[in-house]
Amino acid sequence: MPKIRSIVSAIALASSISVASAWDALPTKAPAPADNPTTAEKVELGRILYHDPRLSSTGTVSCASCHNTMLGGEDNRPNSMGVHGQTGGRSAPTVWNAAFNEVQFWDGRAASLEEQAAGPVTNPIEMGMKSWDDVVKRLASIDGYPALFNKAFGDNSISKDKATKAIAAYERTLITPNSAYDKYAKGDKKALTAQQIRGLNKVVELGCVSCHSGPAFNGPGSFQKFPVIDNAYLEKQYQLSADKGLFEVTGKSGDEHFFKVPTLRNIALTAPYFHNGSVKTLEKAVKVMARVQLDKKVTDAEVADIVAFLNALTGEFPKQQMPTLPGTLGTSFN
């Protein structure tokens, strides 16, 4: 996996990122790949597919079930629930600002939003479809979808490639700019409170920006080992090392416990925390991160300041309207 390996090698560069580069405002538009330019028609089709539970084997689970765009872009569960009440081993990452991730999923196994969109649909625990051929056949049988694909792509044919491109196009519109922090970064020095500024300075002092840098506070696309510091007490509480992360994709021992650096944007809305959703509060997450990543203890006052700053990363959410799905008149899939 050369893409993944090259990004892992970028970890060494993280510490060289200047603090100044961490204080950029979030862009209001996400770049699209050359083979999937963003259009209004494609976004609309993607919005419909994203919210359609018929992409799951039981007709009960949609992308939005685990990545709720009516709130923080995930489901506030330690482990997300798929078809037949099954739960996986990881907490759903937020879809908000996912367009600014270099890779997708906690273990970075997808290099793009298009590739990510394909995975859960045929995962037996998540959406449970046996194959994308079955998905395409189902969509083609639903009156309304051929016309929507025609509007988006110029013909009535339905395919995995088109469906995932449409979902990805929709997800690239899920951007939350204009947080208090963004206003501060653009020059409004009154946008942050004194406590939030103390928290920002403490984040720099502790070294958090060696990983959480850039406009999305998710680094330069690198992975990071988690946890870095062995701590038996915290390990017993939170089982942070049970999941081997990137190793489960590559099978290479040097990749054990490496994870994609998650965004800090809107983090106040996405509890519980970490890849396994084991930590319930943001305050505790800050304390745990300081110990197992930076080998530092933080006082309650410092934690309060950092949390205040993290709250300043909650942006403005573009209004989301639930779509009316194409109907299946007189027909059930189950």
pLDDT digits (tens), the chain, 334 positions: 434 444 343 333 333 333 434 478 999 999 999 999 999 999 999 999 999 999 999 999 999 999 999 999 999 999 999 999 999 999 999 999 999 999 999 999 999 999 999 999 999 999 999 999 999 999 999 999 999 999 999 999 999 999 999 999 999 999 999 999 999 999 999 999 999 999 999 999 999 999 999 999 998 767 999 999 999 999 999 999 999 999 999 999 999 999 999 999 999 999 999 999 999 999 999 999 999 999 999 999 999 999 999 999 999 999 999 999 999 877 776 6
| Interacting residues of 240 by C-beta distance below 8 A, sequence separation 6+ | 226, 227, 234, 274, 276, 278, 288, 292
Task: Please state the separation of Cα 39 from the chain's center in Å.
Answer: 22
Residues of the chain with CATH 1.10.760.10: 2-26+176-311, 40-171
How much is the pLDDT for 330?
76
Catalytic, out of 102, 114, 126, 302? 126
CB 263 within 8 A of CB 100: yes
CATH topology of domain 2-26+176-311: Cytochrome Bc1 Complex; Chain D, domain 2 (1.10.760)
CB 41 within 8 A of CB 152: yes
Name the nearest CA neighbour of 123 among 158, 64, 66, 82.
82
CATH architecture of 40-171: Orthogonal Bundle (1.10)
Which contacts (CB < 8 Å, 24+ apart) does range 58-63 have?
58/83, 58/84, 58/128, 58/334, 59/333, 59/334, 61/126, 61/127, 61/128, 63/95, 63/117, 63/120, 63/167
How much is the pLDDT for 291?
98
How much is the pLDDT for 306?
98
How much is the pLDDT for 12?
34
How much is the pLDDT for 16?
33
Q: Confirm whether 126 is a catalytic residue.
A: yes
